[in-house]
Structure 1
Amino acid sequence: MNPLANKIRPKNLGEVIGQKHLLGEGKILQDMISSGHLMNMIFYGPPGTGKTTVANIIASATGKKFYKLNATTDSLKDIKDIIKDLNTIMGYNGVILYIDEIHHFTKRIQQSLLEFIENGQITLIGSTTENPYFYIFKAILSRSIVLEFKKLTKEDIVEGLKRALELIKDDFPGKIISYDEAALNYMGELCEGDLRRALNILELILYSNSIKKDEICITINSIEKFSQKKILNYDRDGDSHYDILSAFQKSIRGSDANAAILYLGMLIKAGDLASICRRLLVIASEDVGLAYPQAISIVKSCIDAALQLGFPEARIPLAEAVILLATAPKSNSAILAIDSALKDLETLDVGEIPLYLKDGHYEGAKVLGRMQNYKYPHNYKNSYTEQQYLPNNVKMKQYYTFGNNKMEQISKAYWDKIKENKEI
C-alpha cells in the first residue's frame, strides 16, 4: 500500500507546507527555479520538513533527471553507476543527484563527489539533519549553498493534515470522515514539527477504523491510541542535543526554574547524565560565579551523588542543583575577567612581568634583579600595601569589575576601605 505521505506529496512549491522563507515569491529557491540556474545545495533541517519533496519539485520544474541515494545504505559504487548513465540520458536538462543523510558518507566518498560537481556533470542536493558545518566536508560546503529547513509549526502540521484529509477522501467511498479541530491541534503539538509522523498517525487512524465503521472521526482519544507516547526530538549526538543544552543554560542564567527543570527533564529522558553534569559545573562558575561562590561546591556534591546513584534516582540531586542555580543570585564577573585578559594576551604585547615579582629563589637571582624591592603584603597593615603587579604595558588595565550583587559588593566595600587606608 502506498503510504499516505507519498500519496499527498506536493507536486509544486505552492503545495509545500511551511518553509516560506525559502519558497515564497522572491525567495531563493523560487528565484533559482525561475531562472533555471541551480547551485549545488545542502538542505539542513529536522525530519519531516519537506527536504526530499522540495528536491523532487526542483528537478521536475527545471526538467532535470532526478536520482536519489541514501548515504546510510548506498556507496561510492552507486554514485559511479549514476555517472556512467549520464551519457545515455536523453530529453533531460541535466541531472540532480539527491543524497539523503549525506553526513553519513565518509570523507573519501564526499571528496569523490567534487570531481562531478566541479565539471558540471551533476547538480548536488544533499540533505542532512545534522549541522552541515560540523559534518560535511569543507570542500563540498564551499561549492554549495546551505539552506536551512525550519521545524514546522503546529499550524503548519494542521494545514498539512487538512490537506491530506481533503485529498484522501476518495479512497473511502461511502464513508464520512470528520475530525475535531482540537484533535488536529493536539496532533500538531504531538508531532513536534514532523509532518511525516503526523501523516503516519493519521493513516493508522483512517485505515484501522474504515473496516467496520461508516463514519471515521479523528479525535484526541484516537490519536493517543495510535501515537503511543510522545517522542522528544532529541539525539545526544545530533544538533538538537546542543539546542536543548543551550536552552537549559539560558533558562538557569535567566533565573527561570520552571523552564530549567523542563529542559533538565528532556536531558534525563535521553539518559544524558554526562552532559547534564558538565553543564551544571559550567553554569555554577559562568553564571552564578562570585555572587554565590559556594554554589559550585554544592553543585559538585549533587553531581557526585547523581553519578553514584545513576538514573532514575539521579534526577533528584540534579533537580536540586538546577533549582539552586536558577534561584541563586547571578554574576558573570569571573568569565568577563578571564576572557578580557585572554583577549589582551592574543592581541597586545603586555610586556614583561615586573622584576620584583619574578622568582628569586635561586643562586644568581639577585644579580639578575629578581625579587628586589618586593613588598611582602603580610608585613603591612591588613596584609595590603600598594604595589604594581601588572606588566608596564597594561598597568592601567582593569580586568575584574565587582559584580552588582550582595556578595561582591561586600567584598568591594571591604577593599575600598583598605585601599583608602581606613580602619576596618
Structure 2
Amino acid sequence: MDLFSGNAAKGAPLADRMRPRVLDEFIGQEHIVGKGRLLRRAIEADKLTSCIFFGPPGCGKSTLAEIIANTTKSNFRKVNAVTTGVKEVRGILSEAESELMMNGKSTYLLLDECHRWSKAQSDSILPAIEKGIIKFIGSTTENPLVAMTPAIVSRCRLFQFQPLTPQDVEKAIHAALADEERGFGRMQVEMTPEAVGHIVDVANGDARSALNAVELAVLTTHPDKDGVIRIDLSIAEESIQHRAVRCDEEEYYNMLSAFCKSLRGSDADAALYWCSRMLYAGVDPRIIVRRMIAHSSEDVGMANPMAMLQAVAAAQALEFNGMPEAKLNIAQAIIFICESPKSNSVVMAIDGAMRDAEHSYQVGVPLHLRDTHYRGADSLGNGKGYKYPHEYPGHYTPQQYMPDNLAGRQYYVPSLQGSEAKIAEAKARRKQRDAQEGKKR
C-alpha cells in the first residue's frame, strides 16, 4: 500500500474501515459460515467454486468476498457490473488464462451488483467458468433466480444471506467504538444503551446503516468538559431518523403476496400491516387498491357483494382525497374485505365458463335467444318461443339459455357463506320448479 492509498483508507467511512478481515471477525450468517459449515470449510481450504451471494444490503456479502480475497492463494479481481463492460472483462479473462497456463494459478472474479449485467455480458464469461479459467463470485441484493440469466445461475452455488440480527448489529457497533486502529477506540466515546438500541432498531439488520449513524453521531458531537463524547438517545435519533427499508423487486412481490393472502385469510391486522409496510416503502397505493378490488370478487364475491363497492370506493377516495388522507379509506376497505364471509364461487364460475368458451364446440345461439330488433328478424325464426320471465309468477319460468351442446352445464355454485346462502336457497327453489315443470311436460 502506498502513501496515498493509506491516506484514502484512513479517510474511508467507518463502515468500510470496520470490514472484518478474517472469518473469525465476520459477524452473522452463521447458517453458511458458522463453524463446520460448507462455505466456511471451502474458504478455509481455499477450494471455493463459482458462487453467488445474495441478500439485503449491509449483511456482509462484499465483506465475505474481501475475506476470500485475503485468504486465497489464487489471484483475485474485483469489478462492478455498473461500470465494467465486456471489453474489460475479456482482458481479465485473458490474464487469468495466461496465469493458469504459466503458473497453474487460478483467478477469482468478484462481480458486485452482478444482477446489473446483461445477457451478452453474462455470456462473455460462461466459457471461462466452464473451463475453470476463473472462479466466479457474484454479489447482489436481488434474487438471482429472478434477476440473472439462468446460464450463469446454473453454473454457480447460491448462498442466501439473511438480514443481521439486532445482536449482530449491536456487536458491530461496540466493535467500532472499541477498535483503536480502525474505529473510535482512541477517542473517549460513551453511548447510552438507549442510543445503541435505537440505532440497532432503525438500522433493521443493516450494519452499514448502523455504523454510518454511529460515525455521524460521534463526529458531530462535541466533547464535554471532561473530553468525553456522550451519545444519548436524542443524538442517536438525529443520526438515523428513518428505518432502512428493503423494497427491491423480489421483496415488493413478496409483500404484495403476503397482503393478498392476508385478505383471503380474513386477517385484518396482517393485511393492514403489509399495506402499511408497502406504503412506507414507497409502493404506489393505487397498486394496493387495485389488488383489493380484484380480491373483493375473487375471495368474497357474492358472499358479500358490498365488498367490491367498498374497494372501489377506496380507489375513488384515493383519487379524490389523495394520500395521506386516503389511507383511512383504504384501511376501512381492507377491514371490510377481511371481515366479510369468504367465497371463491365467482372465480370458479368464470374459470369454468372461460374453459368452455375456449375448448367447447361453438354452436349457434338458440333461435329463441337471438336478436329480434331489426326488420325481418322474425322471418328467420329469431326469438320464436322465447318466454318473457316477467309474465310468469315470481318473474321466473324454466327456459334453456345455454347452447344445445352445453345444456345443463353449471358454472356458478353458491357457497353457504353470507349472502350466498340466500342465493343457494333461491337457486334450489328454481331447480325444484324446473323439475316440476319438466314432469308436467
After TM superposition, is the score higher than 0.5? yes
- What pairs up with 1:64-79 in 2 under 5 angstroms? 64-79=74-89
1:273-303 Cα shifts (integer Å, max 9, x gaps): 3322322222212222222122213322321
Cα distance in 2 for residues equivalent to 1:146 and 1:375: 66
SS of 2:124's equivalent? Answer: helix
Residue 243 of structure 1 pairs with residue 257 of structure 2: no
SS of 2:109's equivalent? Answer: strand
- What pairs up with 1:17-416 in 2 under 5 angstroms? 17-33=27-43, 36-86=46-96, 87-88=98-99, 93-168=105-180, 172=184, 175-209=187-221, 214-235=227-248, 238-269=249-280, 270=282, 272-336=284-348, 352=361, 378=389, 383=396, 385=398, 401-416=413-428
Change (3 A) 1:185 1:359: farther
Structure 1 residue 335 displacement after superposition: 3.2
Change (3 A) 1:81 1:181: same
What amino acid is aligned across from residue 244 of structure 1 in structure 2?
M
Structure 1 residue 221 displacement after superposition: 1.6
Structure 1 residue 172 displacement after superposition: 4.8
Structure 1 residue 411 displacement after superposition: 1.6
Cα distance in 2 for residues equivalent to 1:391 and 1:41: 61
Structure 1 residue 265 displacement after superposition: 3.2
What amino acid is aligned across from residue 25 of structure 2 in structure 1?
E
Structure 1 residue 267 displacement after superposition: 3.4
What amino acid is aligned across from residue 43 of structure 1 in structure 2?
F
Cα distance in 2 for residues equivalent to 1:157 and 1:399: 56
Q: 2:53, 2:159 within 8 Å by CA — same for their partners in 1? A: yes
Structure 1 residue 330 displacement after superposition: 2.5
Structure 1 residue 97 displacement after superposition: 0.9
What amino acid is aligned across from residue 130 of structure 2 in structure 1?
E
SS of 2:220's equivalent? Answer: helix
Residue 13 of structure 1 pairs with residue 26 of structure 2: no
Structure 1 residue 44 displacement after superposition: 1.7
1:85-118 Cα shifts (integer Å, max 9, x gaps): 3225887841111111112122221221212222
Structure 1 residue 194 displacement after superposition: 0.9
What amino acid is aligned across from residue 140 of structure 2 in structure 1?
T
Which residue of structure 2 aligns with residue 368 of structure 1?
none
Identical-residue share of aligned pairs (%): 33
Cα distance in 2 for residues equivalent to 1:167 and 1:377: 89
Structure 1 residue 334 displacement after superposition: 3.0
Cα distance in 1 for residues equivalent to 2:415 and 2:17: 61
Which residue of structure 2 aligns with residue 365 of structure 1?
none
Cα distance in 1 for residues equivalent to 2:165 and 2:43: 26
Change (3 A) 1:92 1:175: farther
SS of 1:98's equivalent? Answer: strand
1:138-162 Cα shifts (integer Å, max 9, x gaps): 2112222222211222232223223
SS of 1:209's equivalent? Answer: coil
Cα distance in 2 for residues equivalent to 1:104 and 1:77: 16
Q: 1:66, 1:95 within 8 Å by CA — same for their partners in 2? A: yes
Change (3 A) 1:59 1:399: farther
SS of 2:189's equivalent? Answer: strand
Unaligned ranges ≥5, structure 1: 363-370
What amino acid is aligned across from residue 41 of structure 1 in structure 2?
C
Cα distance in 2 for residues equivalent to 1:397 and 1:21: 55
What value does the CA root-mean-square deviation take over the aligned residues?
Answer: 3.9
SS of 1:246's equivalent? Answer: helix
Structure 1 residue 34 displacement after superposition: 5.3
How many residues align? The count is 410
1:393-414 Cα shifts (integer Å, max 9, x gaps): x999986554342212222222
Relative to the length of structure 1, the TM-score reads 0.80
1:179-229 Cα shifts (integer Å, max 9, x gaps): 333332322220122111111111222333365662233432221121133
Structure 1 residue 48 displacement after superposition: 0.5
Relative to the length of structure 2, the TM-score reads 0.77
Q: 1:65, 1:92 within 8 Å by CA — same for their partners in 2? A: no
User: Comparing 4-13 with 123-132, which one deviates more in the overlay?
Assistant: 4-13
Which residue of structure 2 aligns with residue 366 of structure 1?
none
Q: 1:12, 1:57 within 8 Å by CA — same for their partners in 2? A: yes
Q: 2:177, 2:184 within 8 Å by CA — same for their partners in 1? A: no
Larger radius of gyration: 2
1:329-381 Cα shifts (integer Å, max 9, x gaps): 33333335556787x88xxx97657899799969xxxxxxxx9xx99795987
Structure 1 residue 390 displacement after superposition: 10
